[in-house]
A = this chain, B = another copy of it.
Amino acid sequence: MLSDEAIDTIKWSKDGLIPAIVQDANTKDVLMMAYMNAEALKRTLEKGETVFWSRSRKTFWHKGETSGNIQKVQEIRIDCDADTLLILVEAAGPACHTGQTHCFYRTLGEFEENPVRE
């Protein structure tokens, strides 16, 4: 699935994570960013759907498992120094828990006018 050598070469953070940018394969919108550990990446490859590691809940998070808004993986890319993933997906529904298509629905200016975390 993923060789031990490749897993070892990936530059995991101190916490054993890698940030994964999720991009819509059709619209090219950046939908969200989340984190994977090696096991989440393996599960993503096995399922063909995104599985992340939730840093706050300390559990695996199969995106869309409860909402139905799964993300079907079309391609996984890795950057030059192997410390960031870019995952191209077909999204079954909104990526954001707020119901928005993607999580980046506010400009920094809008955020500044109403600085809240949602």
Residues of A within 8 A of B (CB): 2-3, 5-6, 8-9, 11, 19, 21, 23, 28-30, 32-33, 45, 75-82, 84-86, 96-98, 100, 103-108, 111-112, 115-118
B111 near A78: Cβ-Cβ < 8 Å:
yes
Q: A104-B77, A107-B77 are in contact. Are A9 and B86 (CB under 8 A)?
A: no
A76 near B108: Cβ-Cβ < 8 Å:
yes
B3 near A115: Cβ-Cβ < 8 Å:
yes
A9 near B79: Cβ-Cβ < 8 Å:
no
How many copies of this protein are present in the complex?
Answer: 2
A107 near B76: Cβ-Cβ < 8 Å:
yes
Q: How far is the CA of A86 from the CA of B97 in the complex (A)?
A: 18
Q: How far is the CA of A93 from the CA of B45 in the complex (A)?
A: 33
* Contact with A19, one of B19, B80, B118 (Cβ below 8 angstroms): B19
A79 near B32: Cβ-Cβ < 8 Å:
yes
Interchain nearest-CB distance for A72 vs B (Å)? 16
Contacts of A32 in B (CB 8 A): 79
Q: How far is the CA of A45 from the CA of B8 in the complex (A)?
A: 37
